Amino acid sequence: MRAGSRLERVLRAGLFAVTAELNPPDTADPQAVYEAALVLSEVCDGINATDASGANVHMSSLGVCALLVRAGYEAILQMSCRDRNRIALQGDLLGAAALGVKNALCLTGDDVTAGDQPEAKRVFDFDSLQLLRTATIMRDKGVLLSGRKLAQPPRVFLGAAENPFAPPLDWRPHRLAKKIEAGADFIQTQYIFDIEIFRQFMARARDLGLHQKVYLLAGVGPLRSPKAAEFMRTHVPGVYIPDAVVGRLNKTPKPRWQEEGMQICVEIIEQVRAMEGVAGVHVMAYRQEEMVAEIIRRAKLFPRVGRGATTARPVRNL
């Protein structure tokens, strides 16, 4: 056990894990966090607190995680290299561990040009690989990057993101291998809307034996409308949505757009779950926590079943 988090225990037990994103609110009111988390907590094993995703300001990931832990939820800290240098990142990891956060996702981060304050200065002292290596050194060797010894190392289950759809496609499994080598215990992928490309990615990952070295959670999420799909694939960095998916929504009557978007998501979950090497799903829907919970229920991920299993195995005591 790296950290003994709920997410780690579920994955090591061979159960199909579910994580979801809580998009931090634009407020200093903690109640907004608690209300969103309450919906997600019943249907997932960990709640990601995004770190200024899309390079837009929201409540900090560390702040959200502190609130989640205070309320008894399983928090996943997101750490982006865009806004902080190595000194601040190491300090945040120590602070998060002291607050009881047991999972951390290491990200490079979207460029400032993607957000609503493009004049902001970039940091990018590290990228995600360097951050992973640093966090691994802190955890496993008990020292800071400077070599200074830590009295108490941070016990964290370390994660990273991967995008199977970013060109060149042949290189993506090798990029995944580098993140595993750097210390990633689990992986959350970008949104999956093209099953065949993801299937090829997983086949190559298995050829390299990567599925035996890391827990991979497939990223999924609903599309609310054809317009939303078009916006995501043209404005959200790293998202690839095939024409066929957008066309399916366009052929759907407007009153059923949201329902069809959820159905597409459920179908994708069913398909990725059948793939060898997929250890769970990571569900993303911007400030639509109720929809996330409904998708997880429709996909019959709760009551809990094992990876590829057909009978329920409750794990509420984990």
Q: Please state, in angstroms and rounded to a whole number, the distance separating the CA atoms of residues 176 and 132.
A: 12
183 — alpha (psi -120 to 50), left (phi > 0) or beta? left
pLDDT at 315: 30
CA-angle at 296, arms to 294 and 300, nearest 5°: 110
Beta carbons of 157 and 2 less than 8 angstroms apart: yes
pLDDT at 312: 31
- Residue 26 burial class via C-beta count within 10 angstroms: exposed 0-12, middle 13-18, buried 19 and up: exposed
* φ, ψ at 170 (rounded to 5°): -65, -20
Tokens found for residue 107: 């990200």
- Residue 29 burial class via C-beta count within 10 angstroms: exposed 0-12, middle 13-18, buried 19 and up: exposed
pLDDT at 310: 37
pTM of the model: 0.93
* φ, ψ at 224 (rounded to 5°): -80, -25
Q: Please state, in angstroms and rounded to a whole number, the distance separating the CA atoms of residues 251 and 246.
A: 9
* φ, ψ at 127 (rounded to 5°): -115, 180
Question: Architecture of 6-223+269-298 per CATH?
Answer: Alpha-Beta Barrel (3.20)
Q: How far is CA 85 from the centre of its chain?
A: 22
The residue ranges of every structural domain in the chain are 6-223+269-298
Local confidence pLDDT in tens for the 318 residues of the chain: 889 999 999 999 999 999 999 988 999 999 999 999 999 998 999 999 999 988 999 999 999 999 999 999 999 999 999 999 999 999 999 999 999 999 999 999 999 998 999 999 999 999 999 999 999 999 999 999 999 999 999 999 999 999 999 999 999 999 999 999 999 999 999 999 999 999 999 999 999 999 999 999 999 999 999 999 999 999 887 899 999 999 999 999 999 999 999 999 999 999 999 999 999 999 999 888 889 999 999 999 976 755 654 333 333 233
Q: Please state, in angstroms and rounded to a whole number, the distance separating the CA atoms of residues 272 and 247.
A: 22
Q: Please state, in angstroms and rounded to a whole number, the distance separating the CA atoms of residues 50 and 313.
A: 30
Which candidate, 164, 102, 159, places its Cα nearest to that of 132?
159
Beta carbons of 46 and 69 less than 8 angstroms apart: no
What's the Cα-to-Cα distance from 78 to each of 118, 179, 200, rounded to whole Å? 21, 16, 28
